[in-house]
Amino acid sequence: MCPSDPAVAAVAQGDLAIKALAMPRDSNPGGDIFGGWILSQMDVAGAIMAGVRAAGRVATVGIEAMSFHMPVRVGDVVSCYAAVTRLGTTSITVHVEVWALRRAKGVSVKVTEGVFTYVAIDAAGGKRSLPPGPPGPPGPPVSPASQEA
């Protein structure tokens, strides 16, 4: 159900965080996949990445720089790649990009990207400082040119 795509893994920025099949129930009245579904997949992908660095719970506090480059279609295999781009005192910023494998054509395209910020939280839901760890990267990743389907 989820074929590997080494070509995409070679150019996508970040680590593969989640992979999902775009289902008919996630489509909009026009027949393409609803943007809110894509955004929720991205939020989960970023939270997984942030949660590892935070060593615990995180909460989403900001979403910005969302760009929907191309539609996701029913039957596409959607892969979310995530990369930490900034570390604050309590916050972690993650760049998430989404690639869709058009299975009928055997081509993968970058369809969406965005920047998500999470705050490390404690059991009571209050913010907490990030645990010691490697320093954050120097800046946001350079986005590669995507392929046209």
Ligand X SMILES: CC(C)(COP(=O)(O)OP(=O)(O)OC[C@H]1O[C@@H](n2cnc3c(N)ncnc32)[C@H](O)[C@@H]1OP(=O)(O)O)[C@@H](O)C(=O)NCCC(=O)NCCS
Please name which of 141, 16, 126 lies closest in space to residue 82, comparing C-alpha atoms: 16
Quote the tokens at residue 12.
Answer: 């996508």
To ligand X, the closest distance from the beta carbon of 56 in angstroms equals 13
To ligand X, the closest distance from the beta carbon of 108 in angstroms equals 29
Q: Considering only 10-18, 31-39, 56-64, 75-83, which stretch makes contact with ligand X by CB under 6 A?
A: 56-64
Rule CB under 6 A: say whether 94 interacts with ligand X: no
Can you point out the beta strands (E) in the chain? 15-21, 58-68, 77-87, 91-102, 107-120
Rule CB under 6 A: say whether 66 interacts with ligand X: no
The answer to whether the CB of 94 falls within 8 A of the CB of 140 is no
SS3 content of the chain, % helix, strand, coil (to 5): 20, 40, 40
User: Restricting to residues 108-127, which ones interact with ligand X according to CB under 6 A?
Assistant: 117, 119, 121, 125-127
The one-letter amino acid code at 7 reads A
The one-letter amino acid code at 101 reads L
Closer Cβ to ligand X, 93 or 146, answer by number: 93
Rule CB under 6 A: say whether 89 interacts with ligand X: yes
To ligand X, the closest distance from the beta carbon of 78 in angstroms equals 21
Rule CB under 6 A: say whether 131 interacts with ligand X: no
Order of strands, edge to edge, in the sheet holding 77-87? 15-21, 77-87, 91-102, 107-120, 58-68
Among 62, 131, 133, 144, which residue interacts with ligand X (rule: CB under 6 A)?
62
**Residues found near ligand X in the complex (CB under 6 A):** 59-62, 88-91, 117, 119, 121, 125-127
